[in-house]
A = this chain, B = another copy of it.
C-alpha cells in the first residue's frame, strides 16, 4: 500500500481503528473468530449453480453484469447500461464483447474509492484469484484472462467454492410458486442442508406486482386449494410454506413498500380479499391487504416455526425508463423514510408478546435505529433486528448500526450478519467485513473500559456465528 510500490495486498489490519490500543484488541478478537464457518441465512445466489455445478463463464458475466452496486455507480457517471452488457428486456443490442465491458469497468475503478464494492472486489481479486496488483486500465486484460482461466478449472466450480469459502449454510430466496427444482436436485447430494431456500410470497401477496393474477392462479394449481376463497388462499400459502420447509427453508421474507400491518375481522378480510381478487381494489386497499397478509404470515410463523423477515422501505424501480428497458434490480431502487411504531402496532398487538415467534426487522432508514427499532426490539419478545442492510451493508453503515442500536437493544436482540447478495464470490469478503467491524466495535468498547475482554471474546463468537445459526433455525429447534 505504499505510494511508489506496485505490489498490492489486503492489509491484515484493514478496517480496524488506527488507534493502537483498539487495534490490538480488535485484531486478537478477530483472530479468534475469523476461521469460523460462514452462516449465510439470507441471500440471492442462484440455486442452479449448486444444483448443476457447471463452471462460471467469465469475469464480466460473473462479477459485473449481476452486480447492481457496480453498474449503478458506472451508470451514475454517464456510462450506458448497454455498453456494460446489461441485457435489455426486448432483446435489443447490448455489448457482448465481455472483455470490452471489463475494460470499461477497470478504467473506471477509481469511482469505487471509499465504497464497499471496492473492498469486496479487491478481496475477490486478492484472496479468491490471488492477484498481487491493483486492477487498472492497463492490466484489465490480464485480470480478465487470469480470472477466466481460473473459472474454467474444477477448483472454481460452485460446490468447490462453497467448501473453500467454508460456507456451512447458504439460504437462497424463491417466490411462493417456484418449483424449487434446483433445491430438489440437491437432495441426496450431501448439500441439502447447506443450500436451502427461503419462502418469499410477495408475488402472491402484493397485488401491485406484475402477473399477480397469474400467480394466484398458479398457486391454486400447485396446491389444489380454492385460492379464490379467503380460507383456501390462506391454506394454499400454508401448503407452500410446508413445501419450502421440505426444501430446507427455515424463514420467510417480505419485501413490502412499508411495514404497515393490519388486523381486520374475518368478515373484513374476506371482503378485502374479494376486492383484490376481482381487481377492484384501490391503492389503499392493496396496501391494507399487504398489511393484513403480514399479520397472517406472522400467525402462520407461530404455527410452523418459520422465522419471519421484513425488508421494507424501498421505492422500487424509481427510474421508469431504465425499468422499462432493462427490468427490475438495475440499481434504480431508492430508500424512503419509513415508520415502524404505528405501522407494526396491529401485528404486535396480536402476536408481539409471543416468545415462540421470531420476526426480524430490517431498515434502510437509519433514523429508525435509535428512535424506533432499538426501543421496539428491546421490549417485544418476538422482535429481533436484522443487520445493516443493502446500502448500509458497509463498514460505516455497520458501525452506525452498532453505535446506534446496542445501547437500547443490546447485542442479543440482533441476529448476526446477512450478506443478502447475488454476488457469490463476494460472500467471504462480505462476512469478513462484518466480522472485522464487529471486532472493531467490541475492541472500541474494551479499550474504553466499557466491557471486559472476556465478554468481548464471547460476543465476537456469538456475532460471527452463533446468533445467525440459532436465530434462523427457529422451526428446527
Contact = CB atoms under 8 A, between A and B. Distances in A.
Contacts of A339: 336-337
Given A334-B341, A392-B370, A453-B2, A73 B410 contact: yes
Interface in A455-477: 455, 457-459
A99 interface: no
A267 interface: no
B447 A18 contact: yes
Given A396-B404, A397-B370, A451 B113 contact: yes
Contacts of A1: 446, 449, 452-453
A148 to B, nearest CB: 26
Contacts of A13: 448-449
Contacts of A322: 353
Interface stretch (A35-43, A165-173, A378-386, A423-431): A378-386
B413 A407 contact: no
Nearest to A78: B355
Interface in A310-364: 315, 318-322, 331-337, 339, 341-342, 345, 348-349, 352-353, 355, 364
Given A337-B339, A396-B407, A119 B450 contact: yes
Contacts of A411: 113-114
A390 B249 CA distance: 40
A379 B334 contact: yes
Nearest to A370: B366
B15 A449 contact: yes
B335 A15 contact: no
A455 B110 contact: yes
Contacts of A255: none
Given A17-B448, A379-B319, A450-B15, A408 B372 contact: no
B78 A381 contact: yes
A210 interface: no
A470 B431 CA distance: 39
A87 B293 CA distance: 36
Nearest to A349: B320
Contacts of A284: none
B16 A111 contact: no
B364 A391 contact: no
A367 interface: yes
Q: How large is the interface on A (under 10, 10 to 19, 20 to 34, 35 or more residues)?
A: 35 or more
Copies in the complex: 3
Contacts of A22: 18
A19 interface: yes
A76 interface: yes
A459 to B, nearest CB: 6
A445 B118 CA distance: 13
B370 A395 contact: no
Given A17-B448, A448-B18, A451-B113, A76 B371 contact: no
Nearest to A453: B3
Nearest to A455: B113
A407 B388 CA distance: 13
Q: Which of A11, A342, A396 neighbours the largest number of chain B CB atoms within 10 Å of its CB?
A: A396
A439 interface: no
A14 interface: yes
B352 A319 contact: yes
A376 interface: yes
Given A337-B339, A396-B403, 20 more contacts: A14-B448, A17-B448, A18-B447, A19-B19, A75-B381, A76-B380, A76-B381, A76-B383, A77-B381, A77-B412, A78-B355, A114-B451, A115-B406, A315-B341, A318-B341, A322-B353, A336-B339, A336-B342, A391-B408, A394-B408
Interface of A: 1-3, 8, 10-11, 13-19, 21-22, 72-73, 75-78, 110-116, 119, 134, 315, 318-322, 331-337, 339, 341-342, 345, 348-349, 352-353, 355, 364-367, 370-372, 374-381, 383, 391-392, 394-397, 403-404, 406-413, 444-455, 457-459
List 8 A-B pairs, minimum CB-CB distance, nearest first.
A11-B449, A18-B447, A14-B449, A78-B355, A394-B407, A114-B406, A18-B21, A3-B453
23 contacts: A1-B446, A13-B448, A14-B448, A18-B444, A73-B410, A76-B409, A78-B381, A110-B412, A111-B412, A114-B445, A114-B450, A115-B408, A134-B452, A318-B348, A331-B379, A334-B376, A335-B341, A365-B367, A365-B371, A366-B367, A367-B367, A375-B391, A395-B407
